[in-house]
Amino acid sequence: MSDIIVGNRSSLMPTALNDKLLMAKQIAESGLAPQGLKTPQQVFVALQWGHELGLSPMVAVSNISVINGKPTLSADIMFAIVRSHHEYAGCSWKKNDDHNACVEIRRKTGEYIETYIGYFSIPDAQKAGLMQKDVWKKYPSRMLKHRALSYACRDAFPDALAGIYTPEEIRNVTPDEPPEPEMESITVTVSETHCENDYQMRYNRIVEDIVSTVTDVAADGTGFFSDDEFEWVNKKVAEAPQSDRGADLLESLLLKLQDRLSERKKEYQKRIAAENIPKKEEESEHVFSEEEYIELNSFYPDINAA
């Protein structure tokens, strides 16, 4: 299912320079690009990074931003890239609570499987000066999870991620300074006005949760959401304004998607139990029914009318 984010969908990315410049111009003029991508040149940089990371165009534009001169990517999208790698051999969470997060990512090289551990704790966050931020106070478990996951992904697949960091890591260092959790003091050199607003942090968190939900896969690699469903969700996310209203709309959408995911996981477990052996599918057979689309659209009103 990570092919929704990377892999075969990367074929949608223009390869010719002129084509990519034209796409960047159209996206910038559409008014649907994120706030940080206001010019065709900025959109082009995001597309180029997405191209090198194997992302599809709109996923690149929606998720890549340049902070302190460095490209950034959310931990969830990092993991989608890693999971699509042909040497990826699995992931196990050893700990994830309000105090510690520890994850193992395995990579198969030839006959050998190497295990890479990502760990981050509240003491690490305190050393880095992160616990002063509202988002760390409100969502410690999730923030710890993202840090641990990004560390493990980069350590295990540096060739696939090209040294890219998450926005949260880059915001807490000076432009020429590599992010390290052990730093005793942090100098913030970028404006965090927009991202530190409660609604913006909530909005970003909800978008990440939506991505995690629609890219979830079963143990045998079966995706729980189809490409058509992902395109529909991606459109709704792109339409939502970055405001309290937009966050409310996306949170409603997230709850519905999580309900669908829970139902489909139960269906999957029943099918596996009946067959007694896992059966790998090349692509999800799920498609929202006409009734489901009507129900989803009923609580998700026309953005232009909001």
Q: For 61-77, how does the pLDDT look when each residue is reduced to its tens digit (9 = 90+)?
A: 888 877 766 778 888 88
* Domain contains 123: yes
* Domain contains 262: yes
Total Cβ atoms within 10 A of residue 42: 18
Amino acid 187: pLDDT: 29
Q: Which own/partner contact pairs does 105-108 have at CB distance under 8 Å and 24+ positions apart?
A: 105/152, 105/153, 105/155, 105/156, 105/157, 106/156, 107/156, 107/157
* Distance (Å, whole) CA 283 – CA 266: 18
Residues 186 and 240 in one domain: no
Residues 55 and 87 in one domain: no
Residues 293 and 226 in one domain: yes
**Structural domain total, the chain:** 3
Lookup: tokens for 230:
């992902």
Residues 283 and 235 in one domain: yes
pLDDT above 90: residue 220? no
Amino acid 88: pLDDT: 92
Residues 124 and 93 in one domain: yes
Amino acid 123: pLDDT: 92
Backbone angles phi, psi at 89, to 5 degrees: -125, 15
The 10s digit of each residue's pLDDT in 101-153 is: 999 999 998 888 999 999 999 999 998 888 888 888 888 998 999 999 999 99
Amino acid 117: pLDDT: 92
In which domain, by residue range, is 14 found? 1-63
* Domain contains 300: yes
Total Cβ atoms within 10 A of residue 124: 17
The 10s digit of each residue's pLDDT in 151-180 is: 999 999 999 888 788 887 776 654 444 444
Domain boundary among 63, 87, 116: 63
* Distance (Å, whole) CA 118 – CA 102: 6
Residues 107 and 13 in one domain: no
* Domain contains 203: no
Residues 83 and 181 in one domain: yes
Residues 133 and 230 in one domain: no
Residues 116 and 188 in one domain: yes
**Mean of all residue pLDDT scores within the chain:** 75
Q: Residues of the chain with pLDDT > 90: what percent?
A: 13
* Distance (Å, whole) CA 181 – CA 36: 26
Contact yes or no for 169/65 (Cβ under 8 A): no
* Distance (Å, whole) CA 284 – CA 281: 7
Residues 106 and 12 in one domain: no
pLDDT above 80: residue 192? no
Residues 3 and 32 in one domain: yes
* Domain contains 169: no
Domain boundary among 43, 63, 83: 63
* Domain contains 160: yes
* Domain contains 80: yes
Starting at the edge strand that comes first in sequence, how are the strands of the sheet with 88-96 ordered? 88-96, 100-109, 112-121
* Distance (Å, whole) CA 34 – CA 186: 27
pLDDT band at 303 (very low <50, low <70, confident <90, very high): very low
Residues 189 and 101 in one domain: yes
How many Cα atoms sit within 13 Å of 256 on the Cβ side? 19
Amino acid 99: pLDDT: 92
* Domain contains 129: yes
